[in-house]
Amino acid sequence: MAYLIFCKEYCGRRKKKKKEKYFWLDRCKSLRWQQVYNLWETHFWYVLPDEVKSTNLLNQYLELLSPCERESVFSMTGDQLKKRALLARALVRTTIARYQINRRGDPRSLKFRKNNYGKPEVDWQYTGDWSPPPLHFNISHTSSLIACGVTAGSLIGIDVEEKQRSLKNNILAFARRYFSPYEVEILTAISDPKIQHQEFLKLWTLKEAYVKALGKGFSGAPFKTFTIQIRDPINRGIHLPGRIDSEVPEIIVESPDKANKLSSSWQFALLELAGSHYAAICIEQERTAGGNGSNPMKLTMRKTIPFIEDECVSGTDAAIVIGGLTGVGDK
């Protein structure tokens, strides 16, 4: 696999450590520095694997990885799986590097750990004159899109699913196995198979994002133990799938530890992304001063090819908000 092998000719041009240092300084400068200004601000970065074709660029991504990460990439079966694994790790490293205080943005210096449930976290290396930013991140990917979400101080979970994803099992049979009775009832009431499939994927994406935000995994928060409600924002009733509204429906979770009580601790955004995916974002809400209400999520969406280009797609046809209360950023 050419793009995952260090070419002798390429490495030979960079034997001297001094040249290598300046090479990576230039590369790090190409990562546009970012700042999360508020605790309720959320940034969402994504890359389309089919748009990353340069062998030279993929080799540069490989150099960002730790030896353990490289071994994991090479252990994948098939070229496309290797490429996606590489891009996922490179996206995380280059994204987190953008937010380091004082712009100490070397993606290679980052270290990671996992919590007790296996959720990845940054293992910040403390020094006497530097404190790490209070960043949280989460990653999700399909065969054709890889995404990374970032917040400051708020827990975050994201999920992306292909809109044309096929299911081997009957949708309702699958839903009865994993979804709450309320969610199964909503899906059962939909007679149009296409709309039923779309609503199933939206619910699945939202439930994945919530579980990942909790950081407990499926074992700690089984899908059946909580309910996602998509509600009409005007009359607070059930949002009818397929109906065209001027208002984006609200998304609320009935949490497992508060049966029959809607939780206000979490906020969601649901989007159609790149015309081909559903993307769900779940963050822990920040209460307003005085504790009355909460600040709405401010979401900024960016498409990227790390080291090459960044494009803000907030408010465009590439990132259409279809659920959840959000403010759209443009930074």
Between CA 155 and CA 158 the distance in angstroms is 11
Residue 258: left if φ>0, alpha if ψ -120 to 50, beta else—which one? beta
As a 3-state breakdown, the chain gives helix, strand, coil percent values, each rounded to 5, of 35, 25, 40
Per-residue pLDDT of the chain (331 residues; tens, 9 = 90+): 444 443 333 344 444 444 554 454 556 556 665 665 565 689 999 999 999 999 999 999 999 999 999 999 999 999 999 999 999 999 999 999 888 755 456 888 888 988 888 888 888 776 666 666 678 999 999 999 999 999 988 899 999 999 999 888 799 999 999 999 999 999 999 999 999 999 999 999 999 999 999 988 777 778 989 999 998 765 555 555 655 455 788 999 987 555 444 556 899 999 999 899 999 999 987 655 555 556 778 899 999 999 999 999 999 999 999 999 655 665 5
Distance CA 46, CA 305 (A): 8
Name residues whose C-beta falls within 8 Å of residue 274's C-beta, 6 or more positions apart in sequence.
Answer: 46, 48, 145, 303, 318, 319
118 in Cβ contact with 132 (< 8 Å): no
Tell me, what's the pLDDT at 46?
98
Residues 186, 75: Cα–Cα separation, whole Å: 42
pLDDT of residue 293: 57
What is the model's pLDDT at position 291? 53
Question: Residue 224 corresponds to which tokens in the numbers above?
Answer: 């059946």
CA distances for 254 relative to 97, 135, 182, 228, 241, angstroms: 35, 27, 11, 6, 20
pLDDT of residue 27: 60
